[in-house]
Amino acid sequence: MHPASDPICAPASPLLPSAVALVRVSGAGLASRLGSLLKLPEPRVATLRTLRWGGFAERALVLFFPGPASYTGEDLVEFQVHGNPLLVRRLLGHLACLGVRQAEPGEFTRRALLNGKQNLLEAEALRDLVAAETDTQIRLAQARAGAQPGWITEARRALAPWMARAEAAVDYGEEEGILLNLKDLAAELEPLRARFHVEQRRSRAARHLQDGIRLALVGRPNAGKSTLFNALAGEDRAIVTDIPGTTRDVLEVRCEWRGLPLRLYDTAGLRETEDPVERLGVARVGPILESADLVLHLVPAGEEGSSLSKTTLAPYQGKVVEIRTFADLAESSGIAIAANLGHLDALESALKERLLGGLAPDACFGALATDRQVRLLDDLTEQLDLLLGLEPGCPPELPASMLQGAWGLLARLTGEDRAETALDALFSGFCLGK
């Protein structure tokens, strides 16, 4: 473990030839640490300086943010230098000679968190913002990065007085006749419980959107998988012919379709075949089914249900959705589409119903969205459900411990409990210089 404020540095832009590269330095006392390299400019004023070291003379635009009014809460200096990867490495090498070590992934944000500049929810949102691949994902992450959800503050405000009352009832109840009125507690906390349930629904949808929805397209040869794949992707990525067994390999594309960030997988048509190449393709479908959020089983309209449902797809029953293709050629009930004509409204409604619980993507903005967050929100909701279901006359220790539990879960959610495991898991997913 490094001391919390030892100086660190990292490139904040990729090490690729580019117009400009950004190098960040953070730590205590940077003015003296970097004194031999440059005189730090006036705070928050972009200033040209010539950095001289080891025979180099690099004109750099320098920004100085004295702590605590900086991203990390410490002194922070940003150098904009020419985007030559070797030059950047040489600069980092020289900084090492000045006692500024290379930062670990996410270490700048970790310090921001430890110095109270942001909380765990914001840090997770930043990670998701950097990783976002579609417009909706960027907007979702931005909404989460801006501010902590208001309901967390409301929850604390509502729980705090009841925690105090429950503690008093535990400590002095018998001698002094201080009793906890569970009926009042239930009446007062009911709106909070309702809010938790709403947030649960929103956050499940938001997690799907932020992660990207893994959709596997399966069915017999010529069921129309590749046609649908191309229609959703908005481009001709897969070869489409009327020859059964056209697709051999698994194809993947990431796209956004009608506000849904998708990871689509086109697969070889599932059938018994002697063709060794096609058999290999069929064998590759298993792992795709395993990791999919939903498996779209394509069955041409007018056909009997296929035997795949009882064989290959049986283990994934919970996430298989039957889609009727060729709806332009035959009548069909259920979710019927004609991807070649772009008739896909039924699929859109089915996906939004199934994955977003009927919510519009916009309705998920600001909701919690990571696995960790959703798990904690589930625990929190359960805790409140239990608390509000307590029978009158139960010993005050019970509600007291449940209120404590809910309070603790809120602290874990925002990272105020400083649990190192949660921080390690988060920051290992960050890039250098963030």
Ligand X SMILES: Nc1nc2c(ncn2[C@@H]2O[C@H](COP(=O)(O)OP(=O)(O)OP(=O)(O)O)[C@@H](O)[C@H]2O)c(=O)[nH]1
By beta carbon distance, the residue nearest ligand X is 269
Task: Please answer whether residues 368 and 374 qualify as being in contact, where contact means their C-beta atoms are separated by less than 8 angstroms.
Answer: yes
Does 246 count as an annotated binding residue? yes
Residue 326 binds ligand X, judged by CB under 6 A? yes
What SS3 class is residue 321?
strand
**Residue partners of 222: CB distance under 8 A and separation at least 6:** 242, 243, 244, 246, 269, 300
**Any known ligand binding at 378?**
no
**Least CB distance to Mg ion at residue 312 (A):** 16
Amino acid symbol at 91: L
Token output for 20: 């400009």
Query: What residues make contact with Mg ion under the rule CB under 5 A?
Result: 225-226, 246-247
Q: How far is CA 149 from the centre of its chain?
A: 15
A 10 A CB-CB count for 97 gives 11
Per-residue contact flags (x/-) with ligand X for residues 55 to 94, judged by CB under 6 A: ----------------------------------------
361 makes contact, choosing from Mg ion, ligand X, none, with CB < 5 to 8 Å by partner type, with none
Residue from 289, 339, 376, 410 in contact with ligand X (CB under 6 A): 339
177 known member of a binding site: no
Q: Which H/E stretch holds residue 51?
A: strand 47-53
HSE-CB of 390 using CA atoms within 13 angstroms: 26
Give the angle subtended at the CA of 261 by the CAs of 144 and 211, to the nearest 5°. Answer: 55
- Which one of 105, 245, 357, 408 is in contact with ligand X (CB under 6 A)? 245
Part in contact with ligand X (CB under 6 A); list of ranges 27-35, 93-101, 225-233, 401-409 = 225-233
Rounded CA Rg of the chain: 28
Q: Is 245 annotated as a binding residue?
A: yes
Touching ligand X, residues 259-278 (CB under 6 A) = 269
Q: Judged by CB under 6 A, does residue 330 bind ligand X?
A: no
Q: Which residues are 125's β-sheet partners?
A: none
Establish whether 139 is an annotated binding residue. no
267 among the known binding-site residues?
yes
Residues annotated as binding site? 24, 78, 117, 222-227, 241-247, 266-269, 434
Residues that bind ligand X (CB under 6 A): 219, 221-227, 240-242, 244-247, 269, 325-326, 328-329, 338-340
